[in-house]
Structure 1
Amino acid sequence: MSFTLRSVKVPPNSVSLEEARHRVFDFFRAACRSIPTIMDIYNLQDVVAPSHLRSVVAAEIRKHSSVTNPKVIDMLLFKAMEELNNITEHAKQRHHIIGQYVVGREGLLQDTGTKDQGASDFLKEFYKTNYF
């Protein structure tokens, strides 16, 4: 059996914090440009507006705004690019996108109160912390 792996070109590490910051902005622009395609691939027009997805991407980036080590920023950026590639290559299903980026963690926690009426406290905590 023969395998062919797709060659993923990993960019060199950022030399400075400023360079890493520019790479993050470039990623944000690329992600925002991908949103119309993502909405078409996953048929999200009836569920969410493009502006909401842009704000979700921005919130995910802002979540790590306190990181100042360029190597850590590069690693986070690599993971973000990999996630974006998985989404645009249709490696996820529609409910993954809706659960992770449309409804989000807060909406899912609100739903757990009605669904877990008979569940133990352990299971309720497990569902809260391990949905993603």
Structure 2
Amino acid sequence: MASRLAQVAAEATARPGLFGGKARAFYLEVCRCVPFIHKAMRLEELVSVREIRAVIKERFLEFKDVTDPRVIDMLIFKGREELEVYLTLHKQRHHAISEYLDPILSKKMAFPKPPSSNSAFLDQFLSGNYISPTAK
């Protein structure tokens, strides 16, 4: 027999409006699969599991304002399909890197632009906003 706390938790998660319903359950399912994908794709050298989960969280938060149940079901279906493709390793390492990890890697590798020692005219000319004085 399950404990009282387990029964209350099961009842609470069964209610559709509480704790996000199907979308939250799918999010937790994806988060549970991340360590396997991380290891199978050999992503240890690039990012941590925590960073991958942060990217997944950002992807879920893109659709936080969606309230139509049909659209939510369609998004979950597409997400589940994507997850299955990664779990069966039909998508390779470079797909995971280019689709999900490039935003993280570009933020990590971004170098600040050094201050320019050029004149304002030369900076404007080099930036491509130069307007020829003869063009009217």
TM range (shorter): 0.5 to 0.7
Measure the CA separation in 2 of the matches of 1:19 and 1:71.
Answer: 18
Aligned residue number for residue 56 of structure 1: 55
Q: CA deviation at 1:107?
A: 3.1
Aligned residue number for residue 32 of structure 2: 33
Measure the CA separation in 1 of the matches of 2:31 and 2:58.
Answer: 13
Structure number with larger C-alpha Rg: 2
Aligned residue number for residue 75 of structure 2: 76
The AA in structure 2 aligned to 1:45 is: E
Structure 1, unaligned stretches of length 5 or more? 1-15, 112-132
Measure the CA separation in 2 of the matches of 1:60 and 1:99.
Answer: 15
Q: How does 1:9-20 map to 2 (within 5 A)?
A: 18=17
Q: CA deviation at 1:94?
A: 0.5
Change (3 A) 1:19 1:71: farther
Q: How does 1:100-115 map to 2 (within 5 A)?
A: 100-104=99-103, 107=106
Task: Give the share of equivalent positions with the same residue, in percent.
Answer: 31
Q: Which runs of 4+ in 1 moved over 4 A?
A: none
Measure the CA separation in 2 of the matches of 1:39 and 1:106.
Answer: 15
The AA in structure 2 aligned to 1:78 is: F
Q: How many residues align?
A: 95
Change (3 A) 1:105 1:66: same
Q: CA deviation at 1:93?
A: 1.0
Aligned residue number for residue 98 of structure 2: 99
Aligned residue number for residue 87 of structure 2: 88
Q: Is the 8 Å Cα contact of residues 30 and 83 (structure 2) preserved in structure 1?
A: yes
Change (3 A) 1:39 1:106: closer
* 1:24 and 2:23 are equivalent in the alignment: yes
Structure 2, unaligned stretches of length 5 or more? 1-14, 111-136
Measure the CA separation in 2 of the matches of 1:67 and 1:106.
Answer: 29
Q: Is the 8 Å Cα contact of residues 17 and 68 (structure 1) preserved in structure 2?
A: no
Q: TM-score, normalised by structure 2?
A: 0.62
